[in-house]
Amino acid sequence: MVKIRVGPCGIHFFDRGTGANLLLDEIAPQPSRWARAPRQVSIALTNACDLDCPYCYAPKTPRALPFELLKRWLHELDSDGTLGVGFGGGEPTLHRRFPELCTYAATRTGLAVTFTSHGHHLDDGLLAALKGHVHFIRVSMDGVGATYERLRGRPFDALIDRLVGIRRVAPFGINYVVNAETLPDIDVAASIAESTGATQLLLLPEQPVKGRCGITRDTSVALKSWVRAYSGNVRLAVSEAARDGFPTCDPLPNEIGLRAYAHIDAQGVLRRTSFDDKGVAIRADGVMAALCKLQNPEGDQ
């Protein structure tokens, strides 16, 4: 399925099945024709998680979004120009209707369906239920071996075993939180990403949450040096919140902020990013009404 999104950079064609993108940037559509919704929306399906990583931003309050409400939001985002949704948490596989939700989104909307998981619940049964209904999977792997096991409290070898099954279901990438503890493992992590068939290594410099200071200046400088010297075959990416100072390619430079991305937390609050402490609750009038309030907070007074 090829979806068309009109925006300030031109006309964007996106094939969710192959991940192919085509931008006609010589065309300048009128603002009245621009898509209203963000290009990508992440949705925290639940706050539940059976890990307790010290740098995790997700609150531990027991919340989960209702299935029927999620369906309405997915249709609204789809019709207003969103290209893809990324399910997260918490741990999204702990949402009791997770496979059903992915199937619904893939078959009843034109949205690309992705999710981010620690991977340990992606057994053969769940992967079979997801096959054909997800377009990309992100697996968190912060550090390798003993570092990973200390931070995440799960066997590292079990994660590697899961990656073998995951790549049979959909293309996948590895999310890698970078801090002083995980940076020394990054060469091995990149090699593992390549050997297991990952198509992307997403670098996530640690953000300041829960009293932690985030990535230190020295670690950030060292990470940028590593990126400049990188010669591996797996494509690198970096989080939007930490992209300054990294050599990045942005084909949509005029599609920024809430035109590019928004986050819905497990309480149904729309935020600019998952780390933002301010947001707008999504009411009965839907996601786009909340988006308007988030874009124009003064207009709501």
* 301, pLDDT greater than 80: no
- Report if residue 263 sits inside a domain: yes
Report yes or no on 33 lying in a domain: no
What ranges make up the beta strands (E) of 8-145? 10-15, 20-24, 40-44, 84-88, 112-117, 136-140
Give pTM, 2 decimals. 0.95
Residue 195 within any structural domain of the chain: yes
Q: Is residue 46 part of a domain?
A: yes
Per-residue pLDDT tens over the stretch 190-225: 999 999 999 999 999 999 887 889 999 999 999 999
Q: Cα separation of 155 and 149, whole Å?
A: 6
What residue numbers bound the domain in which 49 lies?
Answer: 40-300
In a domain, 273, yes or no: yes
Checking DSSP bridges between strand 261-264 and strand 235-238, what pairing results, if any?
Answer: unpaired
Asked whether residue 278 is domain-assigned, the answer is: yes
How many domains does the chain contain in total?
1
Residue pLDDT, tens place only, 137-190: 999 999 999 999 999 999 999 999 999 999 999 999 999 999 999 999 999 999
Mean pLDDT of 228-244: 93
Residue 152, in any domain of the structure: yes
Residue 273 pLDDT more than 90?
A: yes
Q: Is residue 21 part of a domain?
A: no
Report pLDDT for 299.
59
Q: Could you tell me which of 296, 260, 295, 287 has the C-alpha nearest to residue 5? A: 260
Q: What is the CATH number of the domain that holds 49?
A: 3.20.20.70
DSSP code string of 150-205: HHH-S-HHHHHHHHHHHTTTS-EEEEEEESTTTGGGHHHHHHHHHHTT-SEEEEEE
